Structure 1
């Protein structure tokens, strides 16, 4: 089954079997499992063993965490950030592309960093706005406590959920043990996060991917801290982290979900509201990161002039999926190219093994392999390309937002992105063969402004600050931003 089929199946069983009524403490337990189970069932999980910290490295960071915990001074905002978001360089510092632009307007903040890729650690040490803590200590302690003890109620919940899943997916690899592990981890991490939040006392929590951070969300809501999620990736009506339907509304107050979701544009707001669950939580604000590249590099009102004398510059963003098929596709594409092309293959941030690409393309001087943590960044590449290509990625939408046409490659899970071909007809294009792709790139295409801004609204800083002004009042000074020292 693909992800769309799995999502529909989960929607059916949670409604028919009333899975949302089962609780762990104050909270409905099913949301804690839902995305995790969908990722396992679809076999889309990426092996991150090579980019994770070792136990010794976690211990080392835990000592730093203790110092940050003791020095905290009751900030206005707590930010849960990811190391891999520091992808842009500003002089000798690295900028978190999701949140840092806002911190110029917010006097006090506290960052807790999830080190999701150890290859970004050097950037964390040279951060424009440094983190005061990492999640290493919390994760290590919660993992230890999970091994030592769990409430008996978790065993009963795990048995019930396992039985429900087995009824509809009897061949699934999802185990009773895995369900217990996920629920026990939530139980202990929520307790630890409550302790952290009691010490920090923020008014607002900013984070991404709330559907993977239920313990932090639940702890914040128990302490009346407003939870604001910033969009990350493709979040649509079929995404298992968001695809709640109208029957779930009666359980909403007991689900560990954000109070507000800041989405990139009206398209995403329309998508998430379709199922009848999300409503007043959605805010169309834009993207801080994309806005900067619109201002710096892109004129959406002018046509791209592709000279016949210059090679077509194509940026391919990978998904760590179907690597062999993707390589074969571009070897053939390059072999039979009818025009000069220059190909930049930018690896997914969690794709650590570049060896297959280096080996396959070593004799192709016009094909460049760039690791996720290496410069230039994805947006630097997109803002100066003629075409973008990927399998299923937020980069399809980001390319359109930057005025660039995007190509959908016919590999695993590409079906998820196919509606874009109809929505942005002529600017989002499915190719089935390398020959088709060669035909497409021969044409000059410029994405209209109204399409770009449908996916990514203009003016993200102003839009977000207006939203925050309601929560923080005079704390925010829009007229006098302060740059970091």
Structure 2
């Protein structure tokens, strides 16, 4: 039996894709003013990285319930929202005395009046969170996502066979991805068209002054907003560097810019990210804004207010990413044998890719120093990092979030860690080569300290005021439109 291809880093795949784009000029293959390559680029990159990740889907019951309630929600939803945050159920990760809170938009709505949320169910395990949310969405757009997927398959776009076939043939022959058939590309485009049409119905009803999304790739919502003259803001999610497949290179600007589906603004966490993206398409257009993140500011305050190290019992929090689980578990097991002393070792599972604790349960159930935390459990990930002596992961956005909070972070040298080696080269994170090195680090408490300067470059302060200034820019755009 042939072995599966080895995983490749995001940077390795990006280099291949940019050469492919220069050679075949695939950004120029458009239908209806939309670049087909643009809407495929993330999926192509994800496939080529071969990470072995599979995101569990929401339950059919949740999807059906959202579809039945959609019409009622449209009738009762308020009109003329100043700004609309298009979020997801897995963002309901922090809990206060009133219930679950969305990490992206609830703090903004608390600080800046006139906003509302639209939510779709993106992962199982958050149904109770959604029911117990402090602030309910004005519309659940799971129905839009589900219905458009059906309509796009039944009523696909006709014609343009030559364009679909040309792109498919180029991808198959040059990148070696036979699964990207002309029919698959046509189906993806058809779903996009139906989804943007449904979103236009929703946005016409809500009439927001601005749409904000906490991730990339929401092309249907972008097309709907653009058709109605509504400013569109894409917000950084996770590690968004010049190598992210949705961060288009400046060369894409040689083609029809409207076909590239570029947001009006991209918000990033801090100056480090802005510098990384300055030569990207959005950087060249001057559309990047540094705004920080509310969940980091809350966790910073918690650490400053409550954290005090216990010299006899260090707290280490490892954030798992759903990939390389066996190797990660082997490293942790070897470390625990080498470090017999008192310890609280938290393993926090990924909220989207890891359901339950089965990967680690059998390995560590006999060691009372280890505690497994599902991704949807309390306390939230950022609280745990804030109340830890040391954070560990392989190549997670949590490395940067730990630094923003002020918690030292260590990079475990397992496959994929190359993505965050810049942190090690800058001496902002420690590289952990093997279990013995980790045991020595914990024994000697030899992790680096995090200065305010380091923290601020990854996550700018005064998030709410930065968002307020961004919304003012959106307001000026809306007047022009």
Q: Decide: shared fold, TM above 0.5.
A: yes
Deviations 1:386-439, CA, capped at 9 Å, x for gaps: 11111111100011111111111122321111111112x0x4122121001122
Tell me, in whole angstroms, the C-alpha distance in 1 between the residues paired with 2:152 and 2:200. Answer: 17
Tell me, in whole angstroms, the C-alpha distance in 1 between the residues paired with 2:183 and 2:414. Answer: 32
Note if contact 1:338-1:438 (Cα within 8 Å) is conserved in structure 2. no
Q: Post-superposition shift, 1:276? A: 5.5
Deviations 1:145-177, CA, capped at 9 Å, x for gaps: 122222234543332221221232225644444
Matched, 1:324 2:326: yes
Tell me, in whole angstroms, the C-alpha distance in 2 between the residues paired with 1:45 and 1:76. Answer: 41
Alignment length (residue pairs): 464
Change (3 A) 1:138 1:319: same
Q: Post-superposition shift, 1:338? A: 6.1
Tell me, in whole angstroms, the C-alpha distance in 1 between the residues paired with 2:84 and 2:229. Answer: 13
Pairwise mapping of residues 234-273 of structure 1 onto structure 2 (< 5 A)? Answer: 234-273=239-278
Q: State the SS of the aligned residue for 2:283.
A: coil
Q: Which residue, 109, 126, 131 being the options, matches 1:120?
A: 126
Tell me, in whole angstroms, the C-alpha distance in 2 between the residues paired with 1:370 and 1:430. Answer: 24
Q: Which residue, 232, 244, 249 being the options, matches 1:227?
A: 232
Change (3 A) 1:412 1:366: same
Note if contact 2:14-2:45 (Cα within 8 Å) is conserved in structure 1. yes
Note if contact 1:265-1:456 (Cα within 8 Å) is conserved in structure 2. yes
Note if contact 1:40-1:174 (Cα within 8 Å) is conserved in structure 2. no
Matched, 1:37 2:44: yes
Gaps of 5+ in 1: 474-485
Note if contact 1:285-1:463 (Cα within 8 Å) is conserved in structure 2. yes
Note if contact 1:231-1:262 (Cα within 8 Å) is conserved in structure 2. yes
Deviations 1:350-401, CA, capped at 9 Å, x for gaps: 2114112111101010000000001111111110111111111110001111
1:477 aligned residue: none
1:161 aligned residue: 167
Tell me, in whole angstroms, the C-alpha distance in 1 between the residues paired with 2:127 and 2:371. Answer: 24
Q: State the SS of the aligned residue for 2:126.
A: helix
Pairwise mapping of residues 179-190 of structure 1 onto structure 2 (< 5 A)? Answer: 179-190=185-196
Matched, 1:383 2:389: no
Q: Post-superposition shift, 1:111? A: 2.3
Deviations 1:182-238, CA, capped at 9 Å, x for gaps: 222112111111122222221100112232x11111111121100011211000011
Tell me, in whole angstroms, the C-alpha distance in 1 between the residues paired with 2:377 and 2:74. Answer: 31
Cα RMSD for the two superposed structures: 2.1
Change (3 A) 1:158 1:248: same
1:352 aligned residue: 355
Tell me, in whole angstroms, the C-alpha distance in 2 between the residues paired with 1:377 and 1:87. Answer: 6
Tell me, in whole angstroms, the C-alpha distance in 2 between the residues paired with 1:179 and 1:298. Answer: 50
Pairwise mapping of residues 37-76 of structure 1 onto structure 2 (< 5 A)? Answer: 37-44=44-51, 46-49=53-56, 51-54=57-60, 56-74=61-79, 75-76=81-82
Note if contact 2:35-2:259 (Cα within 8 Å) is conserved in structure 1. yes
More off after superposition, 151-160 vs 263-272: 151-160
Change (3 A) 1:155 1:378: farther
Tell me, in whole angstroms, the C-alpha distance in 2 between the residues paired with 1:122 and 1:338. Answer: 38
Deviations 1:117-160, CA, capped at 9 Å, x for gaps: 23111111121211122222212321221222222345433322
2:142 aligned residue: 136
Change (3 A) 1:96 1:154: farther
Tell me, in whole angstroms, the C-alpha distance in 2 between the residues paired with 1:343 and 1:448. Answer: 24
More off after superposition, 386-395 vs 99-108: 99-108
Q: TM-score by structure 1 length? A: 0.90
Note if contact 2:156-2:187 (Cα within 8 Å) is conserved in structure 1. no
Q: State the SS of the aligned residue for 1:143.
A: helix
2:438 aligned residue: 437
Gaps of 5+ in 2: 1-7, 477-481
Q: State the SS of the aligned residue for 1:206.
A: strand
Change (3 A) 1:229 1:275: closer
Matched, 1:400 2:406: no
2:5 aligned residue: none
Tell me, in whole angstroms, the C-alpha distance in 1 between the residues paired with 2:344 and 2:182. Answer: 49
More off after superposition, 276-285 vs 213-222: 276-285
Note if contact 2:318-2:348 (Cα within 8 Å) is conserved in structure 1. yes
Tell me, in whole angstroms, the C-alpha distance in 2 between the residues paired with 1:349 and 1:91. Answer: 22
Pairwise mapping of residues 446-461 of structure 1 onto structure 2 (< 5 A)? Answer: 446-461=449-464
Deviations 1:294-316, CA, capped at 9 Å, x for gaps: 2232279xxx97554x2221110
